Amino acid sequence: MSDAATLPEEWSGYLKPEDMERLATAYQFSEAAHSGQFRASGEPYISHPLEVANILAKLHLDSQALTAALLHDVMEDTSVTKAEITRKFGKSVAELVDGVSKLDHIEFETREAAQAENFRKMLLAMSRDVRVMLIKLADRLHNMRTLGAVPAAKRKRIARETLEIYAPIANRLGLNNIFQELEDLSFSFLYPARNRVLTKALVAARGHRREVVGKVRDAITERLKQDGMEAAVQGREKHVHSIYRKMIEKRLQFAKVLDVFGFRIIVKDTPACYLALGALHGLYKPIPGSFKDYIAIPKENGYQSLHTTLFGPFGSPIEMQIRTQEMHKIAEAGVASHWLYKNSGASLNELQKKTHQWLQSLLQVQLDGGDSVAFLEHLKIDLFPDAVYVFTPKGKILSQPRGATGVDFAYAVHTDIGNRCVAVKINDELVPLRTELRNGDRVEIITASHAKPNPQWLNYVVTANARAHIRHFLKTMQSQESAQLGERLLNQALGTFKSSLAQFKEPQWKKLIKDTGAKSLEDLLSDIGLGKRLSVVVARRLLSLGDASTGERKASGPVMIRGSEGMAVQFAHCCTPIPGDPIIGLINKGQGMAIHTHDCPVIAKSRSDPDKVFDVEWSPDTKKLFSVSIRLVAMNQRGVLAKVAAEIAEANSNIDNVAVDSGDGDQYATLRFTLQVSNRLHLAQIMRALRRIPAVIRITRTKN
């Protein structure tokens, strides 16, 4: 058995004696649970949870987090249950352990799906308590330190996963030391030969650079002292993976990357940061465009510093980071600073607020329908490190990922603003919604009460938040519109049996929903509208539940098409039907109903299938405008296009598209228009008006 003396002495430096006793109990419990288990390296398994807890203790995490770290594998690798942990160590510890545990008891089709679901579970648990991810990051860090003991294929898979997901999460949470170590370890296992070469070159370069770095440090220290400033000046060395990334991204040789000398200046307060900046710009000339003020506009993970690059005394650039001691603490420990430095003040409260907002935004992605792989892709987008900082009309700063558009910004302000946005002004100028935002832009969203998200937005939004809300809205809207269409199709099918929806009572509907396995009546009707269920089959089943006689089939009234059905009803591009055309409805499974003209060759093969083809008619009160194509042959004269366009506008029609073909000669030109019309009568009026133009030779309606 073990007692508190078994635990590292450093823990007792900040934990209370009763906390140490509780941790000793957790250690004993974990040691007993993992008894007989060994790691791939041959060590007893208990060495792993102890080291994970030790990593967290260096961040001064509380005793609950350390207890959960000691127990983090017992649910996954032993017979211990969540209920047992709750009884012995409390609900909070049990929730932390559960959040970290994988979902090995569920069968997944692919490794990617399993990995994605595990990430989703952890991240959603993290949105409730960030300590879940801190424990997971410490777990991954120790696993990476001992990864050499596992087979090569598994080694590469884990290293890639760490580089793509865990290291960016550590960076997003501001855990700089953990982030850098995870990146370097991943790089060493993914590219061992490159890592060896770079590490060897770095060690050699360090010796050559020592004298140069010393001279620059002395010059900086002396200049700051002359200006009456107390400051700690530290040389800052890049880690191996950041050197490699810079070589790849900027296509530089190793020597060129190492020409950049890095220094960190730590001063007493914020005004001193700007005074130090002025002193350094007086000592060495700044490189234009290299200054970044992360104090006025902090990074998303709470990082604050002034960055500037100077021309050094030996012709090499010198990178400077100027910050206060408080800023330095946050830069090193990020969100964990809350535990590590409990007296850090208001800046940490702001950091916690930002982190909480980001974690809560992860929950919003769940509106996307619960696809784990999509969730993981959204997460990768949100972890993209580059950000742009833009302003609302009232001067509030919002940060967006690089590549974000006006639509992303609208959803970042509020979901309703995103759903109702119709235009965007950037720096007081109207621009397309897909315009990418740049640093310093002032962005204003213009909304309309009737507006709704456009499916095309999904082609260019980059934030998970915007994508999730757009998909949720479209899915809900499609479901409602499909249910309305499904109700009409089912009523039509019942009409062939001399029946109607009104004849059936609630008990029959409940029985029908249960028999068909639908979640609700709306889902059942939506499935009919989308073609996933046949209305005739559902009608027969419904009739079998009631007293109504099936009788003889007789023709029922057609489904009326208003043009306002939304996504549940599409108008076929092959024949572009407009009100007045004889039409027919074709159910496409999962896509709803497509409306074709009677003579459309596309539906010739389907006409004999009564379950796919439905009688439809235009409603007399259609108010929508419909697209139609016309082909016009005219004499190739100056101003003819303007005359044609003027006549179309005079006839109250819009031109969607126009194409002009002069042909082989110069005498005649062919003009193809896509117009917006109300019905066939409206189209006939337009064509009559165009025929009155002397230059127009021939005009016809065209179908694709």
Q: How many CB atoms lie within 10 A of CB 282?
A: 11
Q: Can you give the residue ranges of every domain in the chain?
A: 4-190, 198-344, 353-376+402-464, 471-618, 626-702
Kindly tell me if the per-residue pLDDT of 552 is higher than 60.
Answer: no
Q: Do residues 418 and 403 make contact, with C-beta atoms less than 8 angstroms apart?
A: no
| Phi and psi at residue 183, to the nearest 5° | -65, -50
* pLDDT for residue 68: 93
Instruction: Return the bridge partners of 614, or none.
Output: 585
* pLDDT for residue 555: 46
In the structure, what pLDDT confidence band is assigned to residue 323 with cuts at 50, 70 and 90?
very high
CATH class of 353-376+402-464: alpha beta
Burial of 269 (0-12, 13-18, 19+ CB in 10 A): exposed
Kindly tell me if the per-residue pLDDT of 78 is higher than 50.
Answer: yes
Q: How many CB atoms lie within 10 A of CB 533?
A: 21
Structure-token match 């910050």, residue found = 323
Active site residue 77: yes
Kindly tell me if the per-residue pLDDT of 312 is higher than 60.
Answer: yes
Kindly tell me if the per-residue pLDDT of 71 is higher than 90.
Answer: yes
Instruction: Return the bridge partners of 235, or none.
Output: 263
Highest averaged pLDDT of the listed ranges 102-111, 162-171, 549-558, 566-575: 162-171
Residue-wise pLDDT for 132-166, tens only, equals 888 989 999 999 999 988 888 889 989 988 888 88
Q: How many CB atoms lie within 10 A of CB 385?
A: 12
* pLDDT for residue 499: 82
Q: Is pLDDT larger for residue 238 or for residue 391?
A: 391
Which of 21, 62, 77, 371 is catalytic? The answer is 77
Q: Is pLDDT larger for residue 282 or for residue 557?
A: 282
If we measure between CA atoms, which residue out of 147, 140, 149, 143 comes closest to residue 122? 140
* pLDDT for residue 551: 45
Mean pLDDT of the chain: 81
Residue-wise pLDDT for 640-660, tens only, equals 888 999 999 898 898 888 888
Q: Do residues 487 and 432 make contact, with C-beta atoms less than 8 angstroms apart?
A: no
- How far CA 477 is from CA of 246, 372, 453, 623, in Å, comes to 46, 23, 10, 20
List all residues 6 or more positions away from 582 whose beta carbon is below 8 Å from its beta carbon.
597, 598, 599
Active site residue 9: no
CATH topology of domain 198-344: Beta Polymerase; domain 2 (3.30.460)
In the structure, what pLDDT confidence band is assigned to residue 280 with cuts at 50, 70 and 90?
very high
The one-letter code for the residue type at 653 is: S
* pLDDT for residue 342: 47
Residue-wise pLDDT for 84-123, tens only, equals 999 999 999 998 888 887 544 444 455 666 666 666 666 6
Which of 21, 62, 76, 350 is catalytic? The answer is 76
In the structure, what pLDDT confidence band is assigned to residue 554 with cuts at 50, 70 and 90?
very low
* pLDDT for residue 345: 45
* pLDDT for residue 367: 44
Q: Could you say which of 3.20.20.80, 1.10.10.10, 3.30.70.260, 3.40.640.10 is the CATH number of the domain covering 626-702?
A: 3.30.70.260
Kindly tell me if the per-residue pLDDT of 375 is higher than 70.
Answer: no
Going by CATH, does the domain composed of 4-190 fall within 3.40.190.10?
no
Instruction: Return the bridge partners of 702, or none.
Output: 629
Q: Do residues 278 and 229 make contact, with C-beta atoms less than 8 angstroms apart?
A: no
* pLDDT for residue 358: 62
Q: Where are the alpha helices (DSSP H) in 129-191?
A: 131-145, 152-161, 167-172, 176-190
Please give the Cα distance from 6 to 509 (Å, whole number).
Answer: 66
Q: Which H or E run includes 318?
A: strand 317-324
Please give the Cα distance from 452 to 465 (Å, whole number).
Answer: 16
Region 607-629: what's the mean pLDDT?
A: 81
In the structure, what pLDDT confidence band is assigned to residue 1 with cuts at 50, 70 and 90?
very low
